[in-house]
């Protein structure tokens, strides 16, 4: 099932970032999307794919931080049967799956040195070699990668390859944090509120009260749009009067006077 998400916002800094991404979409070149957690990096990657000539091809997403270092290379580049313990049959990697389309690599900075080296070859020569094979496979893949790290700083520290960064940084789209997007908190809160009210089968969306709106706007949103969505959806879900504007906002769902007491360590008898 294809996921369809709207990119919502009207602030100048956000629209400038979207425009940069849109201009890059038509080119068959790598794009780096930089931003804090929750700023919408994956949505921008989807936009790059949908606006590109590859829109009819696959969009394959891989979170590089989601797998153990020993499995990353096999997941990206595939493996042959018997290449390692548990590899009972040959398997395509994400590059082969994305052939003719776009490969979105999230959390790029977490890639191991070995995976970085293989990725560089794939970007430079358009070919991958499965683990356990010496036969290169041609692939036609456009790379979009995302991170919340400062990659040039990682290069200086020896944690990221300079040549790989040079190849991937044809265009760099940096997404502003929500606190810098003037006016967008109100727009996004209304968007997520309306959607949640519809899911709750309310007859109409009553909006937020003036005090609730002020609280939302004044908050710093360290988790950005993802945090805002959670806060708004929770507020709508917990509100018992669909006819009245939503008034109660809770930023910390764990806040409670009944939090479990911290476990205490008791000294063992006879110790010493």
| Fold of the domain spanning 12-176 | Rossmann fold (3.40.50)
Write the DSSP assignment of 138-174 as a string of letters: E---EEEEEESS-HHHHHHTTSS-HHHHHHHTTEEEE
Residue 60 has pLDDT above 70, yes or no: yes
Tell me whether residue 36 is exposed, middle or buried, using C-beta atoms within 10 angstroms of its C-beta: 0 to 12, 13 to 18, 19 or more: middle
Nearest CA among 136, 139, 93 for reference residue 115? 93
Q: What is the pTM of this model?
A: 0.88
Per-residue pLDDT reduced to its tens digit, 178-231: 999 999 999 999 999 999 999 999 999 999 999 999 999 999 999 999 999 999
**Whether CATH 3.40.50.1820 fits 180-238:** no
**What are the φ and ψ backbone dihedral angles of 258, each rounded to 5 degrees?**
-110, 25
Residue spans in the chain of domains classed CATH 1.10.8.60: 180-238
């Amino acid at each position: 099932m294809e996921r369809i998400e709207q990119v919502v916002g009207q602030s100048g800094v956000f629209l400038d970032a979207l425009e940069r991404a849109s201009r890059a979409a038509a080119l068959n070149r790598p794009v780096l999307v930089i931003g804090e957690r929750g700023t919408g990096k994956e949505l921008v990657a989807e936009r790059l794919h949908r606006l590109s000539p590859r829109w009819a091809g696959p969009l394959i997403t891989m979170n590089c931080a989601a797998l153990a270092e020993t499995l990353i290379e096999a997941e990206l580049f595939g493996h042959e049967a018997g290449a390692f313990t548990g590899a009972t049959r040959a398997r395509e990697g994400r590059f082969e799956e994305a052939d003719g389309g776009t490969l979105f690599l999230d959390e790029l900075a977490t890639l191991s040195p070995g995976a970085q080296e293989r990725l560089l070859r794939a970007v430079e020569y358009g070919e991958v070699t499965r683990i356990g094979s010496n036969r290169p496979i041609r692939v036609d893949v456009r790379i979009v990668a995302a991170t919340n790290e400062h990659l040039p700083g990682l290069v200086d520290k020896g944690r990221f390859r300079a040549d790989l960064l040079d190849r991937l940084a044809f265009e760099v789209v940096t997404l502003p944090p929500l606190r810098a997007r003037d006016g967008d908190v109100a727009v996004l809160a209304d968007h997520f509120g309306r959607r949640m009210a519809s899911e709750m089968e309310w007859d109409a969306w009553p909006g937020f009260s003036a005090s609730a709106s002020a609280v939302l706007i004044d908050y710093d949103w360290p988790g950005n749009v993802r945090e805002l969505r959670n806060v708004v959806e929770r507020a709508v879900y917990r509100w018992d009067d669909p006819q009245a504007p939503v008034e109660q906002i809770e930023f910390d769902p764990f806040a409670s006077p009944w939090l479990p007491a911290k476990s205490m360590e008791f000294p063992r008898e006879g110790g010493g």
